[in-house]
Amino acid sequence: MADGAPTSLDEPLIRLGRRRLQPTETVARTEATQQRDALLPFVVISSTYLLFTITDGALRMIVLLHAYRKSFTAMEVTLMFVLYELAGVGTNLAAGIAGARWGIRATLVTGLLLQIVTFGLLFGWEDGWSKSQAILYVTGVQLFGGVAKDLTKLGGKTVTKLVTPEEKETQLFKLVSLLTGARGWKNSLKGVGYFLGSWLIGISYGLALGAMMALVLLALPMAYFGLDPQLGVSPSPGRLRLSDVFDRSNPNLNWLSLARLFLFASRDFWFEVPLPFFLRSPPCAAIGRPCADDSDCGSGTACDAEAGACANLNPGGGCGGLGWSRTQVGALLALYIIAYGQLQAYTPQLVTGPLRQTPPNKRTEVLWGLVNCLPTLVMAVVAAASADAGTYSQPSHAGLPPHTSLLGGSLVGTIACFALVFAVNSSIHSYLVVLYAASDKANAPARRLVHGVSSVSPTRDAFQVAASVGFYYMANACGRLLGTLGSGVLYTYVGDDLGLLAGTNAVQGLAACFAAATASSLLAALITLQIDDGDAALLCGPCCVLYGGAEAPASDQCSRLHSRAEADEAAAGRLSEEEVVRLSRQVSDDLE
């Protein structure tokens, strides 16, 4: 029989318009199948983590808005989140060790189960409980949610490490990365969670909890059946210790960590609790009006039968706000989180790149840290100027006090400006922590340009870099805790008491929160000055500003920074040399 002639075995294939695969084609298909199998953990972990992220964002809004409806003060609500934030301090450090000992599947499934427990226990929040009972119960429940977040986040932090460089070049990896984790998607879905939680609780508290439980239950079988139990297990877990995550010999990293604490506190001093409380609280002018029933009163108020006048639904939340619905509150907070996530992902292209501040140094962060003070400072001044309770008796044509439109517009403008500036600061921090963790000034390893970013020789692997940023992760959680607790104290106790029907002056409380945020931003910038990274110059476009104490002549300092900026522009398209930038984006995504 002639070579290549069809045999009887080939005839069915020929009739069907198909042909027998050649050996090389079989190998190619086998390799494609192996690539898909290798990428399966990436797909499973990414999808599971993003579903969890929606429920985590919703959890905060469900608890906060339900507590507001039950007339809890801002201080009482912040207490409910204490253990949630504290869990981020301890679990962030221990989760990596747990993953190395028992694998990613174990930590991921445990986190999802704890999240189900959290939502399940919140069904037990009884209306008849005293405030003390409710605070103790919800605070304890939130501990499970905080641990769940950090155990689940471990998978998100390690997901890209599960894929080899060859697999990262495949179209499948790029598509999955786009859909599941790249360019701020995690923050976008967290924003979706904020909105869903606010919208669903406006319908029913039970519906909101049930819907979020359903999302976690959807993710659970994917994590359990889609991952190998040995995935991520260290071959020598006995060598991993909790003390490995601290690097007391790296002062630059420790100063940056302390600055990070106050940087994140500057956001949570006003964002997490005071902002939604203020948006929900009614204008003071709407309180005290004669009424026969609730229909005679505006949003956020109800008719007090004994007084025959409209009263604040939650005097503990104060008056003087915008009286928004739960859905409107959730929408604004969601827009901030989504915008912040996207802006942070594109900071090098939109901001620091055009200003030639990529790669950044400590001077870059000091500059942007000072800029971070401006939005909150302006808002503090506007709120303080509008806080005179006497203006509430002068209604405008719309029936609301004239300061309401000014405050509302200023607040939205502040949120937009802060989202941009804070995203730049967070992006710079995320780069610097990787740079300082991977370098040791005493040994001064030779740097190389990576996508225009000053990197170090790859003598220290990713594990060593990750292990040395433990204090940085902990500082981030401590900053959240400081800002959250401080905001509760300021918002609740600074405002004047306007009577039983109205509560406190919420505008004064909000002004105090923004003032504290400004001070926290300023402190973060001043702490950053303590870092010694050898750069005494700052680029701002074509300009170069030289600070005192430079070890090299001014011309050398500026020339070096210009060269680094030019190299960044020249290497902008080289995806194979972005290790430090990739790590910094991962750190930034981990911390949100």
Sign of CA dihedral 9, 11, 15, 21: positive
Contacts of 484 (CB under 8 A, 6+ apart): 78, 81, 82, 85, 268, 272, 273
pLDDT of residue 12: 42
Question: Are 39-232 and 241-534+577-592 equal in CATH topology?
Answer: yes
Whether 527 contacts 259, CB under 8 Å: yes
Give, in order, the Cα–Cα distances in Å from 234 to each of 38, 93, 150, 237, 466: 18, 16, 19, 5, 15
Low-confidence ranges of the chain (pLDDT < 50): 1-2, 7-19, 21, 25, 27-29, 167-173, 175-177, 179-181, 389-400, 440-466, 550-552, 569-581, 583, 587
Q: Give pLDDT tens digits for 404-431.
A: 677 888 899 999 999 999 989 988 888 8
CATH number of the domain at 39-232, out of 1.20.1250.20, 1.10.10.60, 1.10.10.10, 3.40.50.450? 1.20.1250.20
pLDDT of residue 359: 74
pLDDT of residue 199: 96
**DSSP secondary structure string for all residues of 495-546:** SPB--TTT-BBHHHHHHHHHHHHHHHHHHHHHHHTT---S--EEEETTEEEE
pLDDT of residue 470: 58
The CATH superfamily assigned to 241-534+577-592 is MFS general substrate transporter like domains (1.20.1250.20)
384 φ, ψ (degrees, to nearest 5): -65, -40
440 φ, ψ (degrees, to nearest 5): -135, 110
Domain ranges of the chain: 39-232, 241-534+577-592
Other CB atoms within 10 A of residue 23 CB: 7
